[in-house]
Amino acid sequence: MNRTLHTYHSVLRILCDAFQIDADGRAVRCEKRLIEEARRINHAGKMLAPIIDDAHLIDVNDLRRLRLLFEDFPKNHNLVLVAQPGLLTSLALSPNHDIQSRVTYSVLVPRLASDDMERFIHRELDAVALPHATFTPEAFGLVVRASEGYLRRARNLCVGSLLEAVRDRVRTVDLKQVNRVGAMKPRRRRSRHAQIHLPPLDAGYALTLAGIFERAIAALWRAHGDRMAELLSLRDAAMRAPKLKPADNSGEPDVDDDKLF
């Protein structure tokens, strides 16, 4: 699951969707259906291994409720949390000892070397049947250097560069597209009541399940590149169009609506 939405109820509904069961009703009903389905799968001789991505964005109290939920699951199941190292720091605090005591194994994924990063990008290109020449040697080297060994940063650079190539109506990613993506500043979420500080995108943590989104983008770019470029051009033209100002009728006399018909 790679879209936890950071709340317990949202995680429950995504779990129901992953287990292919009904997600309607209150949280108690969802929990009951999840436990029954987990036991049914266990009786069928299958092992459960739910994987939750971006688990560091889930509140500790919600993680505690998830722990209580999985206490009723079959004992041979495994819950895998993919998160940034900050989660281990939070669990090391004394109030969260009940959650840390359930952690049986944890590992920090180190940054990839340049050769490993090149092989990873080439493997992803092969998976979507794109030639290695999709990126020019200069652009490819810039992506490898700018990623600094982080899979998530390499993924963002590659996907963004492919989208910029579609916008430019070219089939080869060059330095211009990569530099344009690298110059983009990440947007911060703001609220009227409080300011939310998002964690860094690549703070010592690499995704092991990367490649799904970029494969879909690459497939669309390869099959419908001209159409996608046309749609992007129409969107840019609409955004640049001047907005119409509302007419000022303050100086006109009031007119009865019934007399207009």
Q: How far apart are CA 82 and CA 84, in angstroms?
A: 7
Q: What is the dihedral of CA 89, 53, 213, 137, to 10 degrees?
A: 30
Question: What residue ranges do the domains of the chain occupy?
Answer: 8-100, 114-240
Are 62 and 10 in contact by the 8 Å Cβ rule? The answer is no
Asked whether the CA dihedral 93, 99, 102, 104 is positive or negative, the reply is negative
Share of the chain above pLDDT 90, in %: 11
Q: What is the pLDDT of residues 137-153, one digit of tens each?
A: 999 999 999 998 888 88
pLDDT mean over 26-32: 87
pTM of the prediction?
0.52
pLDDT for residue 125 is more than 50: yes
Q: What is the DSSP string of 23-56?
A: --S-HHHHHHHHHHHHHHHHHTT-----EEESGG
pLDDT computed for residue 152 by the predictor: 83
